[in-house]
Chain A
Amino acid sequence: MKKTQNVLIKGTKDGLTLHLDDLCSYEELKKELDSKLTENSLANKDRPLISVRVQVGNRYLTEEQQEEIKNLIRQKKNLVVELIQSNVMTKEEAELAISANEIVPVARVIRSGQVLETPGDLLLVGDVNPGGTVRAGGNIFIMGALKGIAHAGCYGNSEAVVVASVMNPSQIRISHCINRAPDYTTDKEKREMECAYIDETDHIIIDRLQVLSQLRPNLTKLEGGR
């Protein structure tokens, strides 16, 4: 009896999906993948490029192995690997993913010369004084007065926003954009409950925080509710 196939090719409406078995050895898998693709590639020579998704199930592939699989598939003329999907990830990657999505609450005053940085969202219960800096990979929410520098999306997330109870920053940075306070403030109007975001023209806009529910619907993570 012939044993079950380790490589299954399926056609879907988005292109081809390669199901690679996760129980056989990696070497075995590579060999079978190679032979399987070789027998098929001859038939469709003049077809346009086909994008391929690779589904590896519960197998963890290192960067090198992923590259190897991609090369193997790419060698077969009209196939291009779109992505490799796996059900497993390393602990490190998982922790990184968690920290990037986490809201970190901090209750203290960020004073002149101090820098506070979080990988995900930052919830600061306190002020940022002039000369102080807060940086976050995600959004920044400040329950006190922002009088120093805030840098949201500091690893390059243009969707990030800065929200503060009192918005009086010396500089606001979001991703790659920088905006600073005017050199001369003529009026001493109170800037309360405001937000900063990047608009379509790549400029930082400061507005009432109520506009965010329209502009950044992703900020709401609560599902359902009434």
Chain B
Amino acid sequence: MGQAIVVTSGKGGVGKTTTSANIGTALALQGKRVCLVDTDIGLRNLDVVMGLENRIIYDLVDVVEGRCKIHQALVKDKRFDDLLYLLPAAQTSDKTAVQPEQMKTLINNLKQDYDYIIIDCPAGIEQGYKNAVAGADKAIVVTTPEVSAVRDADRIIGLLEKEENVEAPKLVINRIRSHMMKNGDMLDVDEITAHLSIDLIGIVADDDEVIKASNHGEPIALNPNSKASIAYRNIARRILGESIPLQQLDDGDKGVFTKIKKFFGVK
């Protein structure tokens, strides 16, 4: 029996889809059987980021309405040997085509066959969000170091805490620009974590390679040389229960020393 993790944020454009794709990919790289579920019905793009758009035959709404079996709708990722699958969202309907109860049944069915179900949640807190959260056991909240994104993350954490079946959410801070954080122009990691008061499960630096990779339909996690890729792989390993220290944001060995100093409260 696997576990279902919903990736959500409240605000749009903070990197939910990218995070879903890369955590899924990184988990598959660790040898886990993973199924990605896109619940953004009407505005799907997880398939594009994964480069699987052309292979879609059936979608989530087809499964829910009984037009096909689950395994017919699942798109297999050829880069992995039977480890990574995608259940794409429908593009022709909208969020009301699915009810939370139906999603719950669907996710429970998938949990029989996969180790991890990664649910990509749409932006907002309406029907789409409710569908995405319905079947989830765990939640990852993605935010960026911007006040507006943190505000929405706070709202979504409040909603997630009301869900009885979902464990306390974990935080991913995405698109960190280390130089701006250092100058105090951007919210700092500690500041965000203290404000939201939930566990941090990963930080991802802003990296041009991420955009390049998703435009090519290849999740960045497949490229071992990028900083963002390592960040996503670290998140996946933390999901698996390993304890890995947070990535250094700025290069140079000065970082460790200042961090220790900061830890002891020396300026």
Contacts and interface: CB of A to CB of B under 8 A. Distances in A.
B151 A112 contact: yes
Interface string A106-128: 00010111100000000000110
Interface in A63-91: none
**Chain B interface secondary structure, helix, strand, loop or mixed?**
helix
A57 interface: no
A131 B197 contact: no
Contacts of B157: 111
**Chain A interface secondary structure, helix, strand, loop or mixed?**
loop
A139 interface: no
Contacts of A130: 151, 154
A91 B197 CA distance: 41
A129 interface: yes
Contacts of A132: 154, 158
B170 interface: no
A113 B155 contact: yes
A129 B195 contact: yes
A127 B196 CA distance: 9
Contacts of B152: 112
Among A113, A126, A132: residue with most chain B CB under 10 A: A113
Contacts of A127: 195, 197
Interface of A: 109, 111-114, 126-127, 129-132
Interface of B: 151-152, 154-155, 157-159, 161, 195-197
28 contacts: A109-B197, A111-B154, A111-B155, A111-B157, A111-B158, A111-B161, A112-B151, A112-B152, A112-B154, A112-B155, A112-B158, A113-B155, A113-B158, A113-B159, A114-B158, A126-B197, A127-B195, A127-B197, A129-B154, A129-B195, A129-B196, A130-B151, A130-B154, A131-B151, A131-B154, A131-B155, A132-B154, A132-B158
